[in-house]
Structure 1
Amino acid sequence: MPAKRSIIHAGKNGAKFLGFSTLAGVLLAGVALPTAGALGLSVKNGVESFENVPDDFKTPPLNQATNIYDAEGGLIATVYGRYRRILTIEEMGTLIRQAQVDIEDARFYEHGAVDPKGVLRAIGKNAGSGAAVQGASTLTQQYVKNVHVEQAGDDTAAVLDAQRKTLGRKIQELRYAIRLEEELTKDQILTNYLNITYYGNQAYGVEAAAQRYFGKSAKELTVPEAATLAGLVQNPTQYDPKLHPQAAQRRRDVVLDKMLEHGHLSAAQAAEAKAAPLGLRYQAPRNGCITAVAGTGFFCDYVRQVVLRDPAFGSSAAERQRLWDLGGLNIRTTLDPKKQAAAQHAVSSKVKVTDTVSAAATMVEPGTGKILAMAQTRPFGIDKSKNETMVNLNVDAAMGGGGGFQPGSTFKPVVAAAALEAGLPPTQAYSSPNQMDWPTMRTCEGTWKNANKGKKEGSVPNESASEKGPYELKEAMARSVNTYFVQMEQEIGLCAVKQMANKLGIGARASG
């Protein structure tokens, strides 16, 4: 980038005067020449509208990609609403800045918010053709338009309105551009422009574009690569180097000619760059937990749920959602890739993806609560033909899981722990018949309820006909005697079991 050339700085009143004096030219450069009478009316109305535009232009925080990493620094997934990484001007490197300025606004460092020479040139070309063949928007004005497009988000109607080439829109862009030139340096405006601009294929900003098309950072771009990206801005679809390589190469060569014309390349450098192939190393968009490293999709979604629900990331749900949507986060997690692979093998080796049942396993480090692995037999996704699911069987419904499952005999130790805490001795004995009716049990509300409610069977049996008591706790646990633990639960109440389960980190409902 050449040293910044001297710029005539106008004060606020001077800037407004410049806006008034060139407004007619801007309007003429943007549309075909009207009749003389209409010209006078357009300028009069334009100046009045210019005065009425508020000075409340706000540059929005830019959406960026969020990266989720495992405990060893490996990338699990990239999640974004806008694939972008914001760079400083130094991080961008020189070539892309030179190329973008030369093709979009070669006199950017010499003029203010409006380029009078560009306006006159556009008027001449438009008058000669009788149509609007050339505009005169400066890079600053283009940045203003991009801000409005960014603010529109995914609202198609709002995006179209922000891009509409109307008299009112041109006036608004001019007023805001003048305000920006008063408040920011040229380098700051250029940096903002290069970070916000869309380069096609879901790539916003030069860093995302460099990674998308060439698999490298913006600072590492070669001359022909920088020229290719700079050429995309005018029409990312028409000059898409993946879909239309010949058009992209012709556009690249136009940019190289401009860089030669403005002294940023020698004739030999330009010729060498033109002779080079496009050299794409296209990186297809990979967005969201559905593209996570194999087996980690459910953990990725769990991370998202934590950010959206934990007050550490914002005092309200809306605030946490804004944080996630804005992105730009580097989330480093406790997931151990080796333990994750082992857990995935453990569940998948016994239960197949095509089985009617599923298996899941979470590995948690005792004492710290760190999640080291989170595995599930069915893949994370929405394609039912591939037996994919978005339901994380490792967590409860609030965190993206299902409605829960009957724990079966695995819950008997919890009942025993609750009984011991309630003061029953390890030698506690019950009659433990081979089969018994579901009893009435006490709930946390102090009421009594029929434990049979919602169950298909009217009674609870033991495993075999010979299995009948009386039993004490040790033998009943060893034999997993159903009726023993039903009687124990009846004595201590459902609430004691629920509370013990919660102490052990198990979500449980005292539903009988």
Structure 2
Amino acid sequence: MIRLVALLAAAVIAGLVAGLMALPLIGGAGVTARNVVQSFERLPETMDTPPLPQRSQILASDGSVIATLFYQNRVEIPLQSVAPVMRQATVAIEDSRYLDHNGVDVRGTLRAVASNTRSGDVQQGGSTLTMQYVKNVLVNEATNAEELEAARGQSPVRKLREVRYALALERRYSKPEILERYLNIVYFGAGAYGVEAAAKRYFSKTAAELTLPEAATLAGIVQQPTAFDPIRNPERSAKRRDMVLARMTQLGYITKGQAAQAALIPMQVLIKPTIVPNGCTTSYAPFFCDYVLQTIRTDPAFGDTPESREAFLRRGGYTVRTTLNPKAQRGAFEAVTDAIPINDESRRAAAITMMEPGTGNILAMTQNREWGTSGRGKTTYNYNTDRAHGGTIGMQAGSTFKVFTLAAALESGISPTEYISSPSPNTFEGFTNCETGASFGPITVRNSTGQGTFDMARATAYSINTYFMAIEERTGLCRPAEIAESMGVFLGSGEPLLRVPSFTLGSMEVTPLAMANAYATFAAHGVYCKPRSILEIRDRDNRSLDVPDEDCTQVISQDVADGVAAILTGVIDGPITGRTGAAMSLADRPAAGKTGTTNESAAVWFAGFTPDIAAAVWVGDPRGGFAHPMKNLTINGKYYDQVFGGTLPGPIWKQSMTAALEGTDPTPFTLSNEWSLRPARGVTSMSSLLRDPKPGEGSDEFVFDNSAKPTATAPAEPPATGTPDDDSAPTVPEEAPVAAPE
């Protein structure tokens, strides 16, 4: 039987060549029957039919759609979900003898040969619908140019392969099954693969709802999708539609009256197109969306190699439910764009990441930019993330880094109630390389506005540089950096943090995501959780796939973490006049946080948390903070002599937190530590955080110059709003560009 079919195939192929089907000759003598038979018998009898690429959806945590992604815009559906008239139109125009042959229609092929011979051109094809399906599968599975040419090229070998596979498929599947597969794989133009996507693209409806004129239009497109595109070429498409209607009439699928009625409808009236957004670009959370894709591309959980992870995305058909909280995301975007509009003349950028302590879940990630490759206010760089996840090399964090020195100090036994002399300027000569023991030499540091003798709470509230340099000198340089790295903080380039004296002043270039997660670790009593953006992935059959679970580790003791948290609550809610975080006090709940300002205000930050949410905000210039410092400039119509951590990042943080927590019950801090440090909110006496100075210590040495605060941002209540945070030490590098052009 197989040899008989092979002989028939030989006749078909030879006829195609003789009939000017544009097939090249093999050798000088042409195609012989023996060669064809031998080639045919050597071909595999079966063909793999892997799942087709489909659309994937990325969802927020509540199930709402963030983005739709596809390499091929396709939604697979069963044949029962295709209107009967669409099935009839397809068979009528593509393979009217579909129900009568076994995959190879010799009669139809010879008829095509005769027609093409008479015309001297290729006007009729000899491929059956089954053979067309085979060709589409081979094209779809091609991984390189050679395989693609083999699937598309006009050659006897290709035809032989299609015949062989078509015969095998007809034995394996029923006619309805093959028709279903064909309708799901075939390209209908305008980016629509499969009949369901095509119905949506051209008529804004499902394939089950297609009418006769719509079905005839779609069936007519397949032969030449560009030429018969009803949107771009309505007249040619209408003629092709009428040809389909005529063929359906000849075969008895419809009456002449039905065909005439359908042909009366102008194509411009018939077409009601819908464009399906593809990718993160049009999402309301484009940078978070891209972070999810970058996570899949870089995480071995989704494939052992970059190629296999890319194939995971290419196959599609997945529903990815993420950690994103839509309310938090929209509130954060409103906050950054209220502070600095997208197209602001200053060109300054603002970015914020919000996280859930104790889980690693990313709740929001946004910036005052649109996703795009050109134009002011557009970028494809995610200012919240590191280079490996589509971001930048990071930005200097300023005094938000002082929390790591606080933790190291408490851990090493330095008492929070110990008063330390902190003059300005002050020279430090005791710093040594924590690995080699080599001395760094004398380092001189100054404070922004104050000097005196401080305990931890006051020094943190005022962000006293010389105090933190003094305790860092005592802890050594290794442990503060080790604590930061244990909380996921590395350079934006992915490299380890530098063990240098300016560490505590925030000379390291890091990301808002890393800082938000570090502060979330303090909120979670010292438990660090790896950042997590994906909760669940389901495939096209609704089967759940393995995704990374919460990955949490106790990296510092609860004593130390809660001690730091208690001190940070005093920055926002404590009674100290002139504290840097006073303006960030939330209306209905306690909070903790820290401002950060680098040399020349090249970058300004605020990082903070409640028990429920941690967030970090960066504001700066993507072109390079030291080349474009935030001094003597106008932002959003308002002039600033200098921008500080409490000027813009702090209010962005407060507005974002307020929006995200709206409608939720306030959660109190529950802090337990050996120093009996308590949260500041609601405490009338700060005796647990602050003690009166001992005789001779005299905190009256501290001088705070209220005139130095930026009056442009200082509301009436609470006092000291927008107080300058601090200027980093001269040891901070002079230039640290973000390397993220707009």
Q: Normalised by the shorter chain, which TM-score bucket?
A: 0.7 to 0.9
Alignment pair present for 1:177 and 2:166: yes
Match of 1:224 in 2: 213
The answer to whether the aligner puts 1:106 opposite 2:89 as a matched pair is no
* TM-superposition CA deviations, 1:145-190 (whole Å, max 9, x none): 222221235x566544432212222222222222222222222222
Match 2:196 to one of 180, 188, 207: 207
| Contact 2:8 2:106 survives alignment (8 Å) | no
> 1:440 Cα deviation (Å)?
5.8
After TM superposition, give the deviation of residue 448 of structure 1 in Å: 4.8
Counterpart in 2 of 1:473? 456
Q: Partners in 2 of 1:240 and 1:156 — Cα distance?
A: 26
Distance 1:75 1:305 in 2: 18
Matched with 1:6 is: none
Does the 8 Å contact 2:368/2:377 carry over to 1? Answer: no
The equivalent of 1:350 in structure 2 is 339
Alpha-carbon distance in structure 1 between the residues aligned to 2:24 and 2:469: 91
Equivalent in the alignment of 1:64:
54
- 8 Å CA contact 1:23, 1:47 repeated in 2: no
CA separation in 2, counterparts of 1:22 and 1:371? 62
Assess if the C-alpha contact under 8 Å between 1:438 and 1:450 holds in 2.
no
Confirm whether residue 246 of structure 1 aligns to residue 200 of structure 2: no
Matches of 1:443 and 1:258 in 2, distance apart? 86
Which residue number in structure 1 is paired with residue 504 of structure 2?
A: none
1:360 aligned onto 2:351: yes
- AA of the residue aligned to 1:190: L
Contact 2:79 2:176 in 1 (8 A): yes
Q: In structure 1, what is the Cα distance between the partners aligned to 2:476 and 2:180?
A: 67
1:504 positional shift: 4.4
SS in structure 2 opposite 1:403? Answer: coil
Match of 2:467 in 1: 484
Q: Given residue 373 of structure 2, which amino acid in structure 1 is its aligned partner?
A: I
In structure 2, C-alpha distance between the alignment counterparts of 1:311 and 1:470, rounded to whole Å? 51
Task: Please say if residues 260 and 266 of structure 1, whose CA atoms lie closer than 8 Å, have aligned partners that are also in contact.
Answer: yes
Q: Pick closer, same or farther for the CA change 1:450–1:220 going to 2, 3 Å.
A: farther
Cα deviation for residue 444 of structure 1 reads 6.4
1:150-169 matches, cutoff 5 A: 150-152=140-142, 158-169=147-158
Which of 61, 70, 75 matches 1:85? 75
One-letter amino acid matched to 1:247: R
Confirm or deny: 8 A CA contact 1:33 1:127 kept in the other structure: no
1:430 counterpart (420, 429, 442): 420
Deviation at 1:492, TM superposition (A): 1.1
Q: Mark the CA change 1:387 to 1:245 in structure 2 (over 3 Å): closer, same or farther.
A: same
Render the CA deviation track for 1:221-265: whole Å, top value 9, x for unaligned: 111111111100100111011110011111111111222222222
Q: How far apart are 1:209 and its partner, in Å?
A: 1.3
Equivalent position of 1:455 in the other structure: none
Quick one: structure 1 residues 470 and 241, their matched pair in 2 at CA, closer, same or farther if it must change by over 3 Å?
same
Identity of aligned residues (%): 42
Aligned to 1:494: 477
TM-score norm. by structure 2 comes to 0.61
Q: Match of 1:144, as an amino acid?
A: V
After superposition, residues 260-409 of structure 1 pair within 5 angstroms as 260-278=249-267, 279-284=270-275, 286-293=277-284, 296-353=285-342, 354=344, 355-383=346-374, 385-409=375-399
Residue aligning to 1:75? 65
CA RMSD, 1 decimal? 2.8
**2: CA distance, partners of 1:262 / 1:317:** 51
Which residue is 1:4 aligned to?
A: none
Q: For the residues of structure 1 that align with 2:68 and 2:441, how far apart are their CA atoms?
A: 47
TM-score computed with the length of structure 1 as normaliser = 0.87
Change (3 A) 1:276 1:72: farther
Residue type of the alignment partner of 1:229? L
Moved more, 474-483 or 426-435: 426-435
Check conservation: 1:430, 1:472, Cα contact below 8 A: yes
More helix by share: 1
Report the more deviating stretch, 231-240 or 423-432: 423-432
The equivalent residue for 2:548 is none
Residues 432-470 of structure 1: CA distance to partner in whole angstroms, max 9, x if unpaired? 220234656456646556399xxxxx6321113xx3333
Provide structure 1 residue ranges, at least 5 long, that are not aligned to the other structure. Answer: 1-10, 453-457
- How far apart are the structure 2 equivalents of 1:332 and 1:119? 50
Q: What code does the residue aligned with 1:324 have?
A: L
Give the aligned partner of residue 5 of structure 1: none
Q: Which moved more, 1:251-260 or 1:412-421?
A: 412-421
Q: Which residue of 1 aligns with 2:183?
A: 194
Q: 1:182 to 1:350 in 2, by over 3 A?
A: same
User: Hey, what does 1:122 align to over in structure 2?
Assistant: 112
Select 1:463's aligned residue among 444, 448, 470: 448
Mapped partners of 2:433, 2:320: distance in 1:
42
Partner Cα distance (2:389, 2:2) in 1: 54
1:236 to 202, 205, 225: 225
8 Å Cα contact 1:22/1:114 also seen in 2: no
Q: Given residue 415 of structure 1, which amino acid in structure 2 is its aligned partner?
A: T
**CA, structure 1 residues 33+485, in 2 after alignment: closer, same or farther (shift >3 Å)?**
closer
CA displacement 1:465-493 (0-9 Å, x = unmatched):
xx333322222112211011011112112
Q: CA deviation at 1:328?
A: 1.4
* C-alpha distance 115-382 of structure 1, shift in aligned 2 (>3 A): same
Secondary structure at 1:393 match in 2:
coil
Q: 1:443 to 1:67 in 2, by over 3 A?
A: farther
Structure 2 unpaired stretches of 5+: 492-496, 501-742
Amino acid at match of 1:114: V
> CA separation in 2, counterparts of 1:469 and 1:81?
63
Find the aligned partners of 1:439 and 1:30 in 2 and give their Cα distance. 91
CA distance in 2, matches of 1:499, 1:108: 71
Cα distance, 1:369–1:33 mapped onto 2, change above 3 Å: closer
Q: Per the alignment, do residues 34 and 203 of structure 1 end up closer, same or farther by CA in structure 2, a change over 3 Å counting? A: closer
* Residue type at the aligned position of 1:474: A
Q: Distance in 1 between matches of 2:32 and 2:348?
A: 72
Per-residue CA distance 1:347-378 (angstroms, 9 max, x = gap): 11112333333111122233333322212012
Contact 2:17 2:23 in 1 (8 A): no
**Does the CA-based 8 Å contact 2:230-2:237 persist in structure 1?**
yes
Q: CA deviation at 1:343?
A: 0.6
Deviates more, 1:348-357 or 1:194-203: 348-357
Aligned pairs, number:
489
